[in-house]
Amino acid sequence: MVLSIMEKRILKSRLNGFLFLIHYMQNSNKNKKLVFNKSNTGIEIKNEQEIIYMWKKFFSSIGIGSVKVDTILHDKKAALGEMIKGDVLICGGQTDEPIQKINLLLYLQYEEVRKDSDFSWHDKHIDELTIVVNRHIKAGEKDRIPFTMKIPADGPKTGEKHKWFLQTTVLINQSVDPTDEDELMIV
Per-residue pLDDT tens over the stretch 3-48 = 566 656 655 655 665 665 555 555 555 544 444 444 544 555 556 6
Q: Domains in the chain, start-ordered, CATH in brackets?
A: 5-46 (no CATH), 68-186 (2.60.40.640)
Radius of gyration of the chain (CA): 23
Cβ-contact 132, 123 below 8 angstroms:
no
pTM: 0.67
Strands 121-137 and 97-111, sheet pairing: antiparallel
The predicted structure's pLDDT at residue 36:
42
Top pLDDT among 54 and 11 is at: 54
Q: Convert the pLDDT of each residue in 127-177 to its tens digit.
A: 999 999 999 889 889 999 999 999 999 989 999 999 999 999 999 887 778
Q: CA 67, CA 133: separation in Å to the nearest integer? A: 14
Strand extents, DSSP E, the chain: 68-73, 77-78, 83-91, 97-111, 121-137, 142-150, 162-172, 179-186
Q: Are 98 and 173 in contact (CB under 8 A)?
A: yes
